[in-house]
């Protein structure tokens, strides 16, 4: 006796049949996808690789007074060495010696323009240019420090002296605003003192206006002393 399939059994078979077709379709998709991948990867693929090596990535430049640059930075200038030692001086009139009125000092430096963009940043002879930079790769580092090595006193030919601490300076720059990288201060009477800092990979510059305190009466004469500025990187 032939048994008729129940409606529920027929539904199950239809479901099973649909599942088989879905499985086949799925296999087809996978097969076609696989073929596509094979086609895409079939060629001899390659990429060209070069290695970039930082060359002489660290550079320092410090200029106090005149300096050397082949041309302005904006025009691709390169820094150079300049052995010039500039003079900052004042002459105190006999009648004014020791009267407590500070005497402005002037410089023989002709460095008025910034080597960054040739902008007339300092006013000579009243201001001494100081500037520079510290180049380094990688993330921003601690600042480079600029220090001054100061003798205890300015000395005359006859051996008289004036303490270096009688000389101070203010700091500014034409068109400048905000804090100066080389702020105002006064010399210590002998020793090494910090005069400024340079954040890595930034150009830093200020114009220093020196003055002599003129609060004492030294012996007549010409008093000289040399301050050495040093840039130290971290």
In the complex, the residues that contact other proteins under the rule CB under 8 A are: 11, 14, 18, 21-22, 24-25, 28-29, 32, 39-40, 43-57, 59, 61, 73, 76-79, 114-117, 133, 135-140, 201-203, 205
Instruction: Assess contact for 169 and 209: CB atoms under 8 A.
Output: yes
* Residue 16 or 215 having the CB closest to other proteins: 16
Instruction: Calculate the alpha carbon distances from 141 to 17, 119, 191, 233 in Å.
Output: 71, 28, 27, 10
Instruction: Please report how close the Cβ of residue 136 comes to other proteins at its closest, in angstroms.
Output: 8
Q: Which is nearer to other proteins, 78 or 84 (CB)?
A: 78
Nearer to other proteins, 51 or 91 (CB): 51
Give the nearest distance from C-beta 146 to other proteins in angstroms: 16
Per-position DSSP letters for 107-152, written without gaps between them: E-----B-TTT--B-S-TTT-EEEEEEEE-SSS--PPEEEEEEE-S
Distance of closest approach, residue 111 Cβ to other proteins, in angstroms: 15
Tell me the Cα Rg of the chain. 38
Each residue of 65-99: b (16+ CB within 10 Å) or e? bbbebeeebeeeeebeeeeeeeebeeeeeeeeeee
Minimum CB distance to other proteins smaller for 24 or for 226: 24
Q: Which is nearer to other proteins, 170 or 201 (CB)?
A: 201
Q: Cα separation of 170 and 182, whole Å?
A: 9
Least distance from other proteins to the Cβ atom of residue 126, Å: 22
Find where tokens 């203010």 sit. Answer: 170
Decide whether 135 or 168 has the Cβ nearer to other proteins: 135
- Smallest distance, Å, CB 194 to other proteins? 21
Residues 231 and 131 sit within 8 Å (Cβ to Cβ)? no
Closest by CA to 183, choosing from 103, 175, 193, 191, is: 193
d(CA 14, CA 158): 121
* Least spacing, CB of residue 47 vs other proteins, in Å: 4
């Amino acid at each position: 006796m032939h048994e008729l399939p129940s409606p529920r059994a027929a539904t199950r078979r239809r479901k099973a049949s649909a599942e088989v077709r879905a499985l086949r379709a799925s296999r087809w998709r996978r097969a076609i996808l696989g073929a596509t991948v094979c086609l895409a990867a079939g060629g001899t693929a390659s990429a060209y690789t070069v290695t970039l090596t930082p060359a002489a990535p660290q550079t320092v430049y410090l200029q106090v007074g005149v300096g050397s640059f082949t041309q302005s930075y904006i025009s691709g200038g390169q820094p150079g060495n300049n052995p010039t030692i500039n003079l900052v001086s004042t002459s105190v009139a006999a009648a004014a010696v020791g009267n407590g009125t500070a005497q402005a000092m002037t410089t023989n430096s002709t460095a008025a323009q910034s080597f960054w963009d040739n902008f007339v940043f300092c006013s000579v002879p009243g201001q001494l240019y100081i500037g520079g930079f510290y180049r380094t790769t990688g993330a921003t580092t601690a600042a480079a420090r600029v220090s001054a090595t100061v003798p205890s006193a300015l000395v005359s030919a006859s051996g008289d002296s004036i303490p270096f601490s009688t000389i101070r300076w203010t700091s500014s720059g034409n068109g400048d605003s905000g804090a100066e990288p080389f702020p105002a201060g006064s010399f210590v009477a002998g020793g090494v003192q910090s005069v400024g800092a340079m954040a890595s990979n930034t150009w830093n510059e200020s114009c220093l206006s020196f003055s002599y305190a003129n609060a004492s009466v030294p012996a007549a004469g010409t008093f000289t002393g040399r301050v050495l500025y040093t840039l130290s990187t971290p």
